């Protein structure tokens, strides 16, 4: 299927790193977004493919978005991107955590968080306030799961506009976990291709609190328990998972991208395992 998109149809999706072009196609009921800074589409697809092996949809009330790689013609240029099924039903809308809490608090959320003295207190405040205002009593576990996924796959762009709930006339429900495009060193402008992955991994910081991935994950787990269970992937397994996705990229980049992704997952799953064994 050949997809053609033009400027008038696009939505500029805001992130802390800039704007990513995104389209909704009514015929397929799917969302499409482009690689903007590197290989975000591959990252989305790789993370969702590996999450298929997790306990998320068997042991929790939560789910996650599946992504497919796509070739698209955008502004008459061939571009790489990914697509995902629209998960909103008629009458539903997506409410980000930032928008939700800024509307109901008596002061701006950023100001409220700045008065708290630790990441643990900030996480607890976010989780419990969201649960209070939505009636979603497992939102603290949901937030913990999001931070565990970010820690495992090094998503350094989990700002409060890509943590969300779904609103309808019947109240609120949990949003499928989405937007992992910044994971796995995908931003090659910030994490340049000629730098060794280990060096890049060592300086990444977790959002939304600009702390280490381990600290953010452990703080949430200490409050609300461990949520994510996922098997240890070998280098061979990781390469097999991402092989079809790499076919969308230039031959000269395939090996470098594969090495970066393998290094991320192998390094972080060791830290993830050590944390969960304690």
Q: What is the DSSP string of 31-74?
A: EEEE--SB-HHHHHHHHHHHHTTSSHHHHSS--B--EEEEEEEE
CATH of the domain at 146: 1.10.1070
Determine the pLDDT at residue 275.
Answer: 72
- C-beta separation of 60 from 101 below 8 A: no
- Are 51 and 103 in the same domain? no
- Are 253 and 126 in the same domain? yes
pLDDT at 181 over 60: yes
- Are 198 and 132 in the same domain? yes
- Are 100 and 151 in the same domain? yes
Q: Which two tokens stand for residue 40?
A: 């975000």
| Alpha-helical regions (H) of 88-118 | 97-104, 109-114
- Are 142 and 44 in the same domain? no
What is the sign, positive or negative, of the torsion defined by CA atoms of 34, 186, 239, 163? negative
pLDDT at 2 over 70: no
Lowest pLDDT segment from 26-30, 67-71, 248-252: 26-30
Q: pLDDT digit string (tens) for 205-223? A: 999 999 999 999 999 999 9
pTM of the predicted structure, to 2 decimals: 0.93
Determine the pLDDT at residue 116.
Answer: 96
- Are 218 and 148 in the same domain? yes
Determine the pLDDT at residue 74.
Answer: 84
Mean pLDDT of 49-69: 98
277 or 56, which is more confident: 56
Q: Which domain holds residue 21?
A: 3-58+66-85
Quickly count: other Cβ atoms within 10 Å of residue 269's Cβ. Answer: 18
- Are 171 and 256 in the same domain? yes
Structurally, the chain folds into a number of domains equal to 2
- Are 138 and 270 in the same domain? yes
Q: pLDDT digit string (tens) for 91-138? A: 999 999 999 999 999 899 999 999 999 999 999 999 999 999 999 999
Sorted by sequence, the CB contacts under 8 Å of residue 181 that are 6+ apart come out as 20, 33, 40, 41, 43, 44, 82, 157
Quickly count: other Cβ atoms within 10 Å of residue 46's Cβ. Answer: 27
- Are 224 and 138 in the same domain? yes
**What is d(CA 120, CA 125) in angstroms, rounded to the nearest whole number?**
9
Percent of the chain with pLDDT over 70: 92
Determine the pLDDT at residue 3.
Answer: 59
- Are 121 and 236 in the same domain? yes
> What's the chain's average pLDDT?
92
pLDDT at 152 over 90: yes
Determine the pLDDT at residue 14.
Answer: 44
Determine the pLDDT at residue 21.
Answer: 79
Quickly count: other Cβ atoms within 10 Å of residue 18's Cβ. Answer: 12
Determine the pLDDT at residue 274.
Answer: 79
- Are 97 and 46 in the same domain? no
- Are 115 and 187 in the same domain? yes
């Amino acid at each position: 299927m050949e997809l053609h998109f033009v400027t008038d149809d696009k939505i500029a999706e805001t992130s802390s790193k800039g704007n990513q072009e995104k389209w909704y196609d009514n015929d397929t009921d799917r969302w499409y977004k482009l690689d903007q800074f590197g290989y975000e589409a591959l990252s989305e697809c790789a993370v969702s493919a590996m999450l298929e092996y997790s306990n998320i949809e068997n042991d929790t009330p939560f789910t996650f978005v599946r992504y497919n790689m796509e070739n698209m013609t955008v502004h008459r240029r061939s571009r790489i991107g990914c697509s995902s099924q629209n998960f909103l039903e008629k009458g539903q809308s997506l409410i980000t955590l930032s928008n939700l809490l800024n509307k109901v608090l008596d002061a701006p959320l950023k100001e409220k968080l700045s008065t708290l003295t630790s990441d643990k207190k900030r996480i607890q405040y976010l989780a419990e306030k969201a649960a209070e205002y939505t009636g979603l009593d497992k939102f603290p576990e949901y937030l913990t799961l999001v931070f565990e996924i970010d820690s495992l796959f090094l998503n350094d762009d989990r700002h409060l506009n890509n943590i969300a709930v779904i609103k309808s006339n019947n109240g609120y429900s949990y949003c499928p976990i989405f937007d992992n495009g910044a994971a796995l060193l995908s931003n090659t402008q910030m994490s340049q291709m000629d730098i060794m992955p280990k060096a890049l991994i060592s300086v990444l910081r977790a959002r939304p609190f600009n702390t280490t991935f381990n600290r953010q994950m452990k703080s949430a787990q200490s409050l609300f328990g461990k949520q994510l269970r996922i098997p240890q992937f070998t280098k061979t397994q990781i390469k097999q998972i991402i092989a079809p996705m790499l076919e969308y990229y230039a031959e000269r980049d395939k090996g470098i991208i594969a090495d970066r992704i393998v290094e991320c997952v192998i390094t972080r799953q060791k830290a993830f395992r050590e944390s969960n064994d304690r």
